[in-house]
Structure 1
Amino acid sequence: MRVVIVGASGNAGTALLRRLRTESDIDVAGVSRRLPENSTLEWHAVDIGEDGATDLLTPVFRGADAVVNLAWQIQPSHDQRVLYRTNVLGSRAVFQAALRAGVSSLVQASSVGVYSPGPKHAYVTEDWRRGGVLESSYSRHKVLVERMLDEIESDHPMLRVVRVRPGLIFQRDAGTEIGRYFAGPLLPARLLRFGWIPVIPAHPGLRMQAVHADDVAEAYLSILRSDADGAFNLAAGPVLDPRVAARAFHGVPMPVPGFALEGAAALSWWLRLQPVDRGWVRLGLKAPLMSCDRAADELGWRPRVDAVTALREVVAGLADRAHAETPPMRGDADMPGRMGGLLRGRLPGTGNPY
C-alpha cells in the first residue's frame, strides 16, 4: 500500500509517520512546504496554497492507494489571507490532485471545530450540525473544507472519503510548537516543569476533549486498512474541565465570566502579546463534546493514553522545550511566539512557521 501524507511535518503528521513506518507493507511519502533535514523518508516540497499546486501534487499522488491530508495552518493569526490560502484553497488543490491521480481513498483531517455549538454535558455523534463557530476562522475554514468534500462525495461516488474529527491533539514533542502557537513568548514555561499551575480559569463552557497523537495515528492506520468511510470522532477520556485540570496541576479553579475570557484574549492579541484571537476562546466555550462510539465500533479504536496523561505530557514538553526537527515543530528560540523572536521584532501571530 502506498500512502502520501500531505502536511506530514506537523504534530499529527510526525506521529502518523512514526506509526506507518513500522508497517512493512506500507510505502509512505511526505509532502510539506519545507522539507526536514536528514530524513530518509521520501519527501516532496510543495506549498499547497500556491498557484499551480494541483499540477505539482498530481504526479506525487499518482500510484498512491490513499492520500491523507493533514495540512493546516493555525498561524499567523494576524494574516487571515495566508490561513485561507492554505487551509481552504490548499485543501481544494489536494482534493483536485487526488481526483486527477485516480487515488481510491482520500482521508481528511477535520476537527471538532467543524461542529455547530452543542452540549457540554452530553455527547454528539458524527451527524451533529456542521455549521462551526462563526467567530472562529479555524472553525469556518473546517466547515468550508468539509462542504467541498460533500460535493466531491456526491460527484465521485467511487472515491472513498473519510473525515477524521479529533479533539485537541497532544504529544511531548509538540510542547514547544503548541507554546508558540497558543501561548506566546510571555508564558513562563520553565515554571511548568514542577507540574504546578496555581490558578485555573473556570467557566461552565471550558469543557474540552483531547487525545494523544499516537492514538490519532493508530486511528488513521485503522482507517487505511479498512474500507470504512464517512466521519469519525476521536477523543480520550476524561473530559478536560477546570476541576480536572486543577487536580492534575494542583491548582485552584477561579471563576471567570466568558466575556472576560474573550475580552482578555482579544485585547492581548490586538496588542501582539500572544497569538490567540478571541475566536479560539469562543470555539473552546461553544464546541460540543463528541461521542467516539463509531470509531470504537467500526475501527476497533480505543485510546491507550487518557486525556489527563496526554495533557501532562504536552505541558512537560512545553516546560522542557521539547520539539522535533521538522520545520513546524523546531525549537528555534528566535521564532515568533518565543522570547528570542520577540526580542528580534518577530511578534506573536505573525510569520509563517510551516
Structure 2
Amino acid sequence: MTGQRIVVTGATGNLGTAVVRALAADPAVGSVVGIERRPAAHPPPKTEYVPLDVTRDDLTLALRGADAVVHLAWLFQPTHRPDLTWEANVHGSLRVFEAAAEAGVPTLVYASSVGAYSPGEGDRRVAEDWPTHGWPAAAYPREKAYVERCLDAFEREHPGLRAVRVRPGFVFQRSASPEQRRLFAGPFVPGSLLRPSLVPVVPDVPGLRFQVVHSDDLADAVRRCVLRPVSGAFNIATDDVVDPAFLASLLDARLVPVPSWLVRPALAAAWRLHLVPATPGLFDTVLRLPLMDTTRARSELDWRPVHSAAETLGEFLRGLREGSGGGTPQLAGENTRASELGSGVGQRP
C-alpha cells in the first residue's frame, strides 16, 4: 500500500473518530494506525487499531516507520482525582512525544485547546501568539498549558521534527453527544429533555460565551496540518460566538438574568456531591476564555469550517435527544449495548 502511514492516539473518541475518517479518505494517506486503550471491534477502511495505553505501554514500536503522529488522547475524568488526569494527560503526552522522537517520526501534530490560553480581554480576538498559561484553578486548562510548555522544550531539543499544535474551541458532533453529556453534565441530566419545547428559559450569565467547531471541520484542519509543511499553532473555530442569547434563539427559549456568583456555589455543591462531573474551576475557565482569531488557519491551511455554530450545536442537541452515540466504546450512547462494540465504555476523548 502506497501513501503515508499516520499514527493517531485517542483514535476512537470524539475528535479521534473524525480525524481517522478524514485521514483514511485522503488518497495521500496509505494507512492509519489508531492507538487506543479500548479499540472498537471494527476499524474504518485503511485503519488498524492497536490496544496501547500511552501512560505505561511501549509506544516506540507502534510509531516506528510512521510519517506523522497525531496525539489526541486525553482523559477528562475523574475530576475528583486530578492526580490521575495529570498522569494520563501530562505524563502520557510526554511519553508520546519522546516515543515519536525515538522512533524517528518526522511530524507531530498535537491537539491543544482554547483552554490553554491565558484569560482574554473582552471581545478582543487573539492570535496564536497569545500567552498559553491557562487558568490555574482547573485541571483541564492547567494540564493543557503545562503540555504546551513541555512541547516548547521538546521542539528545542528536536529541531528536525516538525511540530504542529491545533487549538480548537469546543468540539461537537452528533455521535459524541452522549459521551459529552456523561463527561460534563453527568447521568442526572437526561439528554432527551434538551429539546426546544422542554427548555423554556436559558440562564443569561454575564461573560459566558465561547466558540465551537464541528469535529469533522477540526479533523479537516488536522489532516491539513499532517500533509502540509506547516508548523506552530493554529486556532480552529467558527467565527460565530455562542452566548446565552445564541442558545436561547437555538432552543426557542427566553433569557433569564442569572449572576455568576449564584451559579458557581450551586455547581460547586453539585460537584462535591458527585452529582455533576464539571468542576466549578471549569466554569471559571469558560468565563475567562479568549475569543480566537482563525486567520492563520484560513491563510496557511486554506481551511474554512463547513458547519456553522448553529449547525454544530443543533447536531449536538439532536444527538443528545436521540442518545444513540457512535460505534466505538468511548462514544457509546444510552441505546448502545457495550457487547455490540466489543469493549466497555471509556472516558477518553
TM-score between both structures, scaled by the size of structure 1: 0.91
- 1:340 is aligned to none
Displacement of 1:263 after TM fit?
1.3
What amino acid is the match of 2:243?
Answer: D
Contact 1:113 1:138 in 2 (8 A): yes
Contact 1:98 1:106 in 2 (8 A): yes
Contact 1:196 1:250 in 2 (8 A): no
**Distance of aligned partners of 1:15 and 1:265 in 2 relative to their CA distance in 1, 3 Å threshold:** same
Contact 2:106 2:162 in 1 (8 A): yes
Displacement of 1:322 after TM fit?
2.8
Identify which of 62, 83, 86 aligns with 1:84: 86
Write the distance in 1 (CA, Å) between the matches of 2:309 and 2:273: 33
- 2:342 is aligned to none
Contact 2:196 2:253 in 1 (8 A): no
**Matching of residue 37 in structure 1 with residue 41 in structure 2:** yes
- 2:297 is aligned to 295
Deviation digits for residues 212-239 of structure 1, max 9, x if unmatched? Answer: 0000011011111211100000000310
Write the distance in 1 (CA, Å) between the matches of 2:324 and 2:165: 29
Write the distance in 1 (CA, Å) between the matches of 2:299 and 2:60: 34
> How high is the sequence identity, in percent, across the aligned residues?
43
- 1:18 is aligned to 21
Displacement of 1:114 after TM fit?
0.5
- 1:256 is aligned to 258
Displacement of 1:80 after TM fit?
1.3
- 1:7 is aligned to 10
Taking the TM superposition and a 5 Å limit, the aligned residue runs for 1:229-240 are 229-240=231-242
Q: Unpaired runs of 5+ in structure 1? A: 336-350
Other structure's SS at 1:208 match: coil
Deviation digits for residues 93-142 of structure 1, max 9, x if unmatched? Answer: 10010000000000000000000101231200100011101111100000
Contact 1:8 1:70 in 2 (8 A): yes
- 1:339 is aligned to none
- 2:52 is aligned to 46
Following superposition, which runs of at least 4 residues in structure 1 exceed 6 angstroms of deviation? none
Contact 2:323 2:334 in 1 (8 A): no
- 1:319 is aligned to 321
Q: Unpaired runs of 5+ in structure 2? A: 338-344
**Matching of residue 141 in structure 1 with residue 147 in structure 2:** no
- 2:201 is aligned to 199
- 1:173 is aligned to 175
**Distance of aligned partners of 1:326 and 1:49 in 2 relative to their CA distance in 1, 3 Å threshold:** same
- 1:344 is aligned to none
Write the distance in 2 (CA, Å) between the matches of 1:326 and 1:334: 10
**Distance of aligned partners of 1:119 and 1:13 in 2 relative to their CA distance in 1, 3 Å threshold:** same
Contact 1:10 1:326 in 2 (8 A): yes
**Distance of aligned partners of 1:144 and 1:294 in 2 relative to their CA distance in 1, 3 Å threshold:** same
Identify which of 96, 106, 109 aligns with 1:107: 109
What amino acid is the match of 1:47?
Answer: D
> Pairwise CA RMSD of aligned residues?
1.7
- 2:61 is aligned to 59
- 1:227 is aligned to 229
- 2:340 is aligned to none
Displacement of 1:353 after TM fit?
2.8
Write the distance in 2 (CA, Å) between the matches of 1:188 and 1:38: 29
What amino acid is the match of 1:22?
Answer: A
TM-score between both structures, scaled by the size of structure 2: 0.92
Contact 1:73 1:83 in 2 (8 A): yes
What amino acid is the match of 1:114?
Answer: A
Taking the TM superposition and a 5 Å limit, the aligned residue runs for 1:255-274 are 255-274=257-276
- 1:97 is aligned to 99
Contact 1:65 1:104 in 2 (8 A): yes
**Matching of residue 284 in structure 1 with residue 290 in structure 2:** no
What amino acid is the match of 2:51?
Answer: A
**Distance of aligned partners of 1:281 and 1:31 in 2 relative to their CA distance in 1, 3 Å threshold:** same
Displacement of 1:24 after TM fit?
2.8
Contact 1:174 1:322 in 2 (8 A): no
Deviation digits for residues 250-269 of structure 1, max 9, x if unmatched? Answer: 11112222222221111101
What amino acid is the match of 1:32?
Answer: E
Displacement of 1:325 after TM fit?
2.2
Write the distance in 1 (CA, Å) between the matches of 2:201 and 2:53: 41
| Residues paired across the two proteins, number | 335
Other structure's SS at 2:194 match: helix
Write the distance in 2 (CA, Å) between the matches of 1:48 and 1:14: 18
Other structure's SS at 2:330 match: helix
Contact 2:177 2:317 in 1 (8 A): yes
